[in-house]
Structure 1
Amino acid sequence: MLGFKEPEFRSQTASAVGLRPRIEELVDRLLDEGIDNVLLVGAGGTYAQMWPYEFLARQKSVLPVRSAIAAELIESGDASLGERTLVVVTSVTGTTDDVIRALEYVQRFGAKTVAFTGYATSPIALNVDHALISEPKTWPFDMQLLLLVGRILHRRGEFDGYPSLADELEQLPDALVVAAEQAEPVAAAFAEAHKDTDYYFLIGGGPLWGFTYLYSMCILEEMQWLRTTRVHSAEFFHGSLELLEEDTAVIVFQGEDETRPITDRAESFVKRISNDVSVFDTRDYALDGFSPENRALIAPIVLDTVMGRVSKHLERVRGHSLDLRRYYRVMEY
């Protein structure tokens, strides 16, 4: 597979899933001390990765669990912040400036802080109450967030399925490698067909809305300098659909949760207008060892792997490195 370092991928994924005992011990201790609300704080892609777990908590719990953009939180504040607030942050390098500043801000209120990162000596890891370290460059953070939020809800008696989910996650490295292998020819064909495409329309909903936003902004825009429109499938019929034309390149992200019919409806309409619709559906991947309910919960992780194959092939056909930036961490802002 193009640019796929399987041993490293397996090891990183396993290191995230392997944090389960530490996550469970920490969650149990924090809940015993008293938690009234949870803030999931990120910036860019890490902020988008928080949304499925706010969504999960909203479905199952009365505990306030909200995602927040780090920079906005600092300026706008949050009335819920206090000594019984749990603030969770993620950062691959542990150096994200807005997240560092957000940690300093929430700590003024006595909030308890937890970080997931790959570097134990990074500024973020050294400035939280609890740093849970995976292997360097481990991405995405969905595994850790799913375990943490899932454990919180389970301990509160609101998520009976957590033990089976956590057990099945041990099989995630194998399942994702197989998904990558399945996706490889699809990704190569997509890239060849879209070598000269300069505008994409992306649709996703439910727990996949965060990934839709992330792939649009962080990959196609930031890493490939392509123009995009991204729209939640439940909001599809309220504005953005007017941009569709018969040659518009549309990407639809589809999962296996209760919101699937909403995205089905948008997909059906799009196919009446555009001749260039690509659907990336987690149902197409084997995911051996995962029950139907847990397949739905790992959908963002699966699509991250699948679309990682697409990204590498777009990089190849376009001759545009995924690491190339003009402004991000290049210019001061």
Structure 2
Amino acid sequence: MKNFDEDRFLRIQTGAVRLARPIDEAIAAAIAAGADSLFFLGTGGAGILMEPATLLMAEKSLLSTFNIKPAELVLTGHKHLSSKSIVVVPSLSGTTKESVAALKFCKNLGATTISLVGHADSPLGQGADFNFVNFAEDDTSCESFYLQSIFIALSVMKARGEAPDYQRIVNELAMLPALMLDVKRAIEPQADHHAKAIAASGFHIISGSGSTWPEAFYYGMCILEEMQWIKTRPVHASDFFHGTLELVEQGVSVMLFKGEDGTRSLVDRAETFARDYTDAVAVFDTRDCALPGISDDVRALISPILLATMFERISAHLEVLRNHPLTTRRYYKKVAY
């Protein structure tokens, strides 16, 4: 596979899986101490990657759960945030200033704080009540963060008696590192084709629903816009027909992210419309992924993880094709803002 270290990938994703037990222990202690709310406080892409876990909690748990932008939280506060809250702060570098400020804000309130970082020797890697470290870089962080946040949600539900299938699900998730590698191998022959299609257009409408919407949003904003300077219009499939449809015409690129949860029909509807009005529709469907040993309910849960691992392969070809490394920035961490 192009520009890909299989051993490194397996090491990082296996590291994420191994955090399931210590995460479960930390969450159990917090719930036993009377935690009554859960906050995911990630800045930028890290916050987006917490959304599938937030959705899982909304669908399966009665615990009040929020995914809030740290910069806003520090300015406005939140009625549900208190000493009885569990606060999860993800940041690959562990230095994101908005997240560091939010951690301090929440600790001052007495909340139980959890950091998910790639570097132990960082403000977030040292500052929370529970610090979970799994080294990763931009090309491997999506899957790692998705997994860690899902483990947190599952552990909260387990501690509250809302996840009777906890152990089965965690056991299946432990199989994912090797299975994701197979997914990468399967898409590699088509990755260059997809990269060329993306490179051929300077504007892309990107849509998904349910747990795939965060990955659609993330890929548009954090990869194509930030890392490739390609304009995108991420839009939730349920909003596709409330504005964005008027941008669709021949030649306009529409990228659709399909998962396996109960919202799949929303993307099907967008696809049916788009195919009537543009010849540039690309569908990325997790049903195409062979995942032996993974149950249907877990497949639905991990749809964004599978899409992230597929698109890493496409991005690896895209950066070479466009002679634009994914690490190139004009402004991000380059200038004062």
Whether the TM-score (by the shorter chain) exceeds 0.5 is: yes
Give the drift of 1:155: 2.1
Q: In the alignment, does 2:224 pair up with 1:220? A: yes
User: Which residue number corresponds to residue 333 of structure 2?
Assistant: 329
What does the per-residue CA deviation read over 1:148-173, in whole Å, with 9 as the maximum and x for residues that have no partner? Answer: 11111122122223221100111111
Give the drift of 1:313: 1.1
Which residue type is aligned with residue 185 of structure 2?
E
Q: In the alignment, does 2:104 pair up with 1:101? A: no
User: Which residue number corresponds to residue 27 of structure 2?
Assistant: 27
User: Which residue number corresponds to residue 182 of structure 2?
Assistant: 178
User: Which residue number corresponds to residue 55 of structure 1?
Assistant: 55
Give the drift of 1:192: 2.3
Report the 3-state secondary structure (helix = DSSP H, G, I; strand = E; otherwise coil) of the residue aligned with 1:88.
Answer: strand
Q: How many residues align?
A: 333
Give the drift of 1:136: 4.1
User: Which residue number corresponds to residue 36 of structure 2?
Assistant: 36
Which residue type is aligned with residue 93 of structure 2?
T
User: Which residue number corresponds to residue 7 of structure 2?
Assistant: 7
Aligned partners of 2:3 and 2:259: how far apart in 1? 26
Give the drift of 1:86: 0.6
Report the 3-state secondary structure (helix = DSSP H, G, I; strand = E; otherwise coil) of the residue aligned with 2:41.
Answer: strand
Q: Determine what percentage of the aligned residue pairs are the same residue.
A: 38
Q: In the alignment, does 2:209 pair up with 1:205? A: yes
Aligned partners of 1:134 and 1:273: how far apart in 2? 45
Aligned partners of 1:193 and 1:144: how far apart in 2? 32
CA RMSD of aligned residues (A): 1.1
Give the drift of 1:189: 0.8
Give the drift of 1:13: 0.1
Q: In the alignment, does 2:263 pair up with 1:259? A: yes
User: Which residue number corresponds to residue 170 of structure 2?
Assistant: 166
Report the 3-state secondary structure (helix = DSSP H, G, I; strand = E; otherwise coil) of the residue aligned with 1:322.
Answer: coil
Aligned partners of 2:248 and 2:55: how far apart in 1? 28
User: Which residue number corresponds to residue 72 of structure 1?
Assistant: 72
Aligned partners of 1:29 and 1:324: how far apart in 2? 42
User: Which residue number corresponds to residue 139 of structure 1?
Assistant: 141
Aligned partners of 1:53 and 1:221: how far apart in 2? 24
User: Which residue number corresponds to residue 91 of structure 2?
Assistant: 91
Aligned partners of 1:194 and 1:208: how far apart in 2? 19
Mind listing any 5+ residue stretches in structure 1 that lack a counterpart?
none
Counterpart pick for 1:233 among 231, 237, 242: 237
User: Where in structure 1 do 4 or more consecutive aligned residues deviate above 6 Å?
Assistant: none
Report the 3-state secondary structure (helix = DSSP H, G, I; strand = E; otherwise coil) of the residue aligned with 1:202.
Answer: strand
Which residue type is aligned with residue 206 of structure 1?
G
Report the 3-state secondary structure (helix = DSSP H, G, I; strand = E; otherwise coil) of the residue aligned with 1:288.
Answer: coil
TM-score relative to the length of structure 2: 0.97
Aligned partners of 1:185 and 1:11: how far apart in 2? 24
Mind listing any 5+ residue stretches in structure 2 that lack a counterpart?
none
User: Which residue number corresponds to residue 299 of structure 1?
Assistant: 303
Give the drift of 1:119: 1.3
Counterpart pick for 1:148 among 152, 155, 158: 152
Which residue type is aligned with residue 56 of structure 1?
L
Report the 3-state secondary structure (helix = DSSP H, G, I; strand = E; otherwise coil) of the residue aligned with 2:314.
Answer: helix
What does the per-residue CA deviation read over 1:234-282, in whole Å, with 9 as the maximum and x for residues that have no partner? Answer: 1111111111111011110000011111111111111111101111110
